[in-house]
Structure 1
Amino acid sequence: MFSASARTGARLLVDALIANGVTRAFGVPGESYLDVLDALSDTEVDFVICRQEGGAAMMAEAVGKLTGRPGICFVTRGPGSTNASAGVHIAQQDSTPMILFVGQIARSMRGREAFQEVDYRAVFGPLAKWAVEIDEAARIPEIIARAFRVAMQGRPGPVVIALPEDVLSELAEAPDAPAVEPAETWPGLTDMMRLQKMLWAAKKPLMILGGARWNPKAIASVTRFAERFDLPVAVSFRRQMLFPADHASYAGDIGFSLNPKLGARLKEADLVILAGGRFGEVPSQGYSLLGIPDPGVPLVHVHADPDELGRVYQPTLAINASSAAFAAALEGVQPPNSIVWGEWRAGARADYLGWTEDPPANPGPVQMATLVRYLRALPPETTICNGAGNFAIWVHRFHRFRAFGSQLAPTSGSMGYGLPAAIAAKRAQPERPVVAVCGDGDFLMTGQEFATAVQYGVPVVAVVVDNGMYGTIRMHQEREYPTRVFGTSLKNPDFAAYARAFGGFGVTVERDERFVPALDAAFASGLPSIVHVKLDPEAITPSTTLTALREKSLGDRSVS
């Protein structure tokens, strides 16, 4: 017999979430976790009902990126879980804390291939930081506490928890676990003294910020450090919000469409400080900027996960520390009596401004430069979100990210991320303007979540750049198989009418002089909005056209 203090597994779970400060969760309802839905109904947790599990998981991931606390998502078993896997993959590659709860069949049905049965440990084990199935209700507080800690500590990442439906209805007496705060791994005093000596000996140092475990206070500390040392600072792929772009020390981002002068500067540097990031395939330009395993330059690598230190590059100085703890410790590092790299820093800044100041004209009557200039004029706290596609190069190269939390973009290169991320950001911070910049193919990966924005009155502005094709794949196709276009063309709907059909605001832009009025009208509407931009297919990137790519490829083949 249980006493009056006994709770169902679902109630234990919801109480554990509330104890850890969860005020919002995203999901698609399913019969496999009805008990959790019922338990949530008695709380003030904002459960955002989404239209597809992939979008729900991306929303949860975006919250994890913004807050450093796990974003929470609930989905049902089988296809619900596999739909959500896209968001789990983003969280893993982006080092984002997130917890995905998946409904599961009853324990007594395991091993029979019951309706929608999936072995979640096997499916999500390689994809998530931890995948677990709860076997008894009494262990729920223990497992939830561990999940929060695993998601946040070291290198953050996603946790997947399967919830057998009979465990959720099972009564148990179990004490609540205390709220979890992640441990900060601090650099040792000896580490920071060695860093100081290496800086004093340098002539051409360069700092690169990336990864996770950052916050506004940490960014402020790094900014002061850069000022005291007159140090050039670059950021990793899609991590522009980690350093203000209008600062004299900012040297640009190391990702797709890399400034060739920044790439050359990295190779010329005599000290590289990589803080927080892994310097994976994209920022390393296919692992070509630094040597492996010997980077070829004195490298200071700072990371919260000791397993990442020396995993690819063998650093001269490996510092096992979280980004925030390392940033705080920089306050104690003293500059040399005479800084000899002032011109080096000024040159890096000049290179950045030369590469990004004036967006070039593109073919066709609508200019992407107009969008970039509009975004630059918005308040610095504006959050810009995007998924994947060549359209994003315009934003990442030319926009000026100036504040932490102003960027939500997947380093995993996942399409469909922009709109769900924008909805999550605006729901969490309604006072901040939020813009999703999407491609046409990109938008329709998760475009049904526009209905979620309308349902909850979330006035995001989605700019859908429509060139009638999967542009990035077409670009590669023109390089590798010129004149043999196949499988990349799209016949798109009227995206403005799509917005209006859901109850939002929609407007189409086919001439450049209509661009700014359309954006102004979208913001003024106070509704979830779509600005449908008809872009010339030739405008494939800021630096080339489809025709130029094709002609170059054909020319190269004729020479060979």
Structure 2
Amino acid sequence: MARHGGRILVDQLVIQGVKRVFSVPGESFLAALDGLHDVGIQNVVCRQEGGAAMMAEAQGKMTGQPGVLFVTRGPGATNASAGLHVAMQDSTPMVVFVGQIARGHRDREAFQEVDYRAFFGPLAKWATEVDDTDRLPEYISRAFHVATSGRPGPVVLALPEDMLSAFSDTPDIAAPVPMPTGVSEAQIAAVLDALSTAKRPLIVAGGAGWSRDAATNLERFAERFALPVAVTFRRQGHMDNRHPNYIGDLGVGMNPKLGQRLQAADLVIALGTRLGDIATNGYTLIDPAQPDKRIVHIHPDPDELGRVYRPDPGIAVSASQMIAALAQVNAPEVSRGDWVTSARAEYDAWRAPKETPGTVKMERVVSWLSDNLPEDAVLTNGAGNYAAFLHRYYQFKLFGTQLAPTSGSMGYGFPAAIAASIEHPDRTVVCMAGDGCFQMTVNEFSTAVQHGAKPIVVVANNGRYGTIRMHQERHYPGRVSGTDLANPDFAALARAYGGHGEVVERTDDFAAAFGRAQSSGLPAVIELRLDPEALSTGLTLSETRALGEAG
């Protein structure tokens, strides 16, 4: 039976197992909206394409299956590009459908015309345009394969409106057949051989494609072989942070002693991570030109192996597959002195709260959340100095409880929290946000209300773009330019949207405010009024400026 292209597309999404899509509607894909009308796929209607794209990215990060996004042409697509950049840098599977002008109007700079192959080329694993309604199932099948294969990432399909509204009797394509998986004995032997001669080995875990089973297997392997485990930037949910073999995160503002330990290691087993500039402090902790240690690199995409560091060896399998195999190996008698215990002691010392000025102290707020939230609570954040408190003082207990952009995107935390609350309505979802970060996507508050999401947003309000101000004071001390903010009453804004809002001006009042927010059953904002001197976890504003003045 003939169907219009929009229904063909949606039927393919059903076959792919898609349960939810995120969108901002546009006239360029009306046929797709019609296709979604009665098939049972939830359409989360958002307020701006950037927020919608971040929700879809968070969905992909939570589930391991592509998050699906629909946006219209021109400004809709360009607005969404911020979320695609997150998906690309974070290796998150995502499929994006973009409405496009009619095929007969191409190359005339028609209304909202964009060449999406050129525009999204650097931001996606694959970007193309579907010219023929008959081929929609083929393109969609390939899109889902590409988004999830090797190193996962975003795929963009542009859909000319006349192609999408045309009718066709083209048949559907079945869902992908699961690929056979496995790790060879030779690959396991190569890892064990490297470990047999190492005196100061270090596991660095990161990347996408992990699961609760993988996190458990990592703990088992680390225990058996007496290995310390560090994780990369914003991948702290890859291992229970309370485990004695966990030693911290190689992220922005990392523990200096952890960086020194990475330098001192004679073997690095890189599990799933690309081992990029953040984990290596701008490639200074491990010099790609003169690496002074052996690197065993395990990554699902063979193109990543040898891209920056020479692996010895490089093994093209997923981290979860490899760690499942290694967890079954019986370890020989292993003695590494205090290599693990001293590394763990350095992590514990780093977590001891360093007092900041003011009557609301972020270190105590985050420590309270770490001690009191359920183990399966989901924590999200965007970018800003406030996030350093979360990375340093919060202990993630279970896989899947951290949603944060390794790309360093501001505005991500709140849309991600909405997506998490929709996906896990029975779990506590907390978004940590700065005043600047929150305002980039605060308009999605009405999306949360409309779709029954109830995240609790903790807004660190210090009246400035704190991270940029920190760098500004270091490089141009005392010359404030472009970093101050005029902020709304965030609690009143939450109430205006139909949510719950509170202001906290003393640390001791936070716990009660959080309890009220949680019991409200509404999306909520708790605004923390911070002392402007409390710039980061390490230095105050005055100290940062003094360092800049001293050169």
Q: Name the TM-score class by shorter chain.
A: over 0.9
Q: Deviations over 1:354-409 (max 9, x none)?
A: 111x2222111111123212211111110000000000000011100011110000
Matched with 1:57 is 53
Q: Deviations over 1:514-546 (max 9, x none)?
A: 211111111111100000111111111111011
Q: Over aligned residues, Cα RMSD in angstroms?
A: 1.1
Report the AA paired with residue 425 of structure 2. P
2:109 aligned to 93, 109, 113, which one?
113
Rate the CA distance shift 1:465–1:184 in 2: closer, same or farther, 3 A.
farther
Matches within 5 A, 1:382-461: 382-461=377-456
User: What secondary structure sits across from 1:22 in the alignment?
Assistant: coil
Q: Which moved more, 1:291-300 or 1:76-85?
A: 291-300
- Give the TM-score taking structure 1 as reference length: 0.97
Counterparts of 1:427 and 1:520, CA distance in 2: 21
Deviation at 1:77, TM superposition (A): 0.4
User: Are positions 1:540 and 2:535 aligned together?
Assistant: yes
Report the AA paired with residue 448 of structure 1. N
Counterparts of 1:424 and 1:492, CA distance in 2: 25
User: Are positions 1:345 and 2:340 aligned together?
Assistant: yes
Report the AA paired with residue 172 of structure 1. S
User: What secondary structure sits across from 1:522 in the alignment?
Assistant: helix
Matched with 1:361 is 355
Report the AA paired with residue 450 of structure 2. Q
User: Are positions 1:469 and 2:427 aligned together?
Assistant: no
Counterparts of 1:38 and 1:6, CA distance in 2: 15
Deviation at 1:329, TM superposition (A): 1.8
CA contact (8 A) 2:102 2:162 kept: yes
Q: Deviations over 1:232-286 (max 9, x none)?
A: 1110010000011011110100011211111111111111100001111111101
Matched with 2:503 is 508
Counterparts of 1:525 and 1:199, CA distance in 2: 52
CA contact (8 A) 1:187 1:320 kept: no
Report the AA paired with residue 437 of structure 2. D
Rate the CA distance shift 1:507–1:192 in 2: closer, same or farther, 3 A.
same
- Give the TM-score taking structure 2 as reference length: 0.98
Matched with 1:254 is 250
Q: Deviations over 1:294-324 (max 9, x none)?
A: 4210110000111100100001111110122
Matches within 5 A, 1:221-232: 221-232=217-228
Counterparts of 1:194 and 1:242, CA distance in 2: 23
Deviation at 1:200, TM superposition (A): 1.5
User: Are positions 1:170 and 2:176 aligned together?
Assistant: no
User: What secondary structure sits across from 1:548 in the alignment?
Assistant: helix
What is the count of residue pairs matched by the alignment? Answer: 550
Matched with 1:320 is 316
1:380 aligned to 362, 375, 382, which one?
375
Runs (5+) with no aligned partner, structure 1: none
Counterparts of 1:145 and 1:274, CA distance in 2: 32
Q: Which moved more, 1:505-514 or 1:180-189?
A: 180-189
Runs (5+) with no aligned partner, structure 2: none
CA contact (8 A) 1:36 1:168 kept: yes
Q: Deviations over 1:193-223 (max 9, x none)?
A: 1211211211111101000111111222111
Deviation at 1:185, TM superposition (A): 5.7
1:271 aligned to 267, 271, 276, which one?
267
User: What secondary structure sits across from 1:126 in the alignment?
Assistant: helix
Q: Deviations over 1:468-495 (max 9, x none)?
A: 0000000000000011111000010000
Counterparts of 2:170 and 2:133, CA distance in 1: 8
Report the AA paired with residue 399 of structure 1. Y
Counterparts of 1:282 and 1:385, CA distance in 2: 19
User: Are positions 1:201 and 2:197 aligned together?
Assistant: yes
Q: Which moved more, 1:181-190 or 1:470-479?
A: 181-190
CA contact (8 A) 1:221 1:331 kept: yes
Identical-pair percentage? 55
